[in-house]
Structures are given as C-alpha cells and as structure tokens.
Amino acid sequence: AFFKAGVKRIVASIWPVEDEASAFLMTKFYHALFIEGHPPANALRQARLAVSQIPRWSHPYYWSGFLFFGNGGHWREL
C-alpha cells in the first residue's frame, strides 16, 4: 500500500520489537544515513550490526526483524 501511494523506501519490522533496542537501532540508522551518508540499506545494516554488538541485544530477535524495502540509492534521490 505504501508503494502504491508513492513511497520509495520503507524500513519496517516484521514482528513486535523491544522499544529500547529499537530506539537505539533507529538512532544508529539515521546517524549512518544522514551524518555518515550511507545509502539506506547500508545504513540499516550498520545499525543492525551496532545493536548486535550490545550484549543484552545480541540475540537476533532485537535487530534482525528490521528490513529495508525499496530504492536502495542515496536517500536524497527521487
């Protein structure tokens, strides 16, 4: 439905997620995307790796449910 409405990219979780780990992951994602300039898929990969390095969130439950869908180019591309 999002793509039909014109959205080019989506980051979504495919299962219910833990709030604190998700907030940390999204902070890392947006930092990699906007500050470091990574393409969205790579930014999500960097964020997932960062979460997986935290001992209490190292289990894939906390980070592997986040997926990227859509155009993998730079976030400023239309």
Q: Averaged over 45-65, what is the pLDDT?
A: 97
pLDDT for residue 74: 64
pTM: 0.86
For the chain, give the percent of residues with pLDDT over 90: 78
pLDDT for residue 78: 43
Q: Averaged over 24-31, what is the pLDDT?
A: 97
pLDDT for residue 76: 61
Give the containing element (helix H, strand E) for 76. none
pLDDT for residue 77: 58
What the block records as the tokens of 44 is 């999500």
HSE (side-chain half, CA atoms, 13 Å) at 36: 15
Spatial separation of the C-alpha atoms in residues 67 and 12, rounded to whole Å: 6
Q: Averaged over 69-75, what is the pLDDT?
A: 73
Can you point out the beta strands (E) in the chain? 9-13, 66-70
The conformation of residue 9, written as its DSSP 8-state character, comes to E
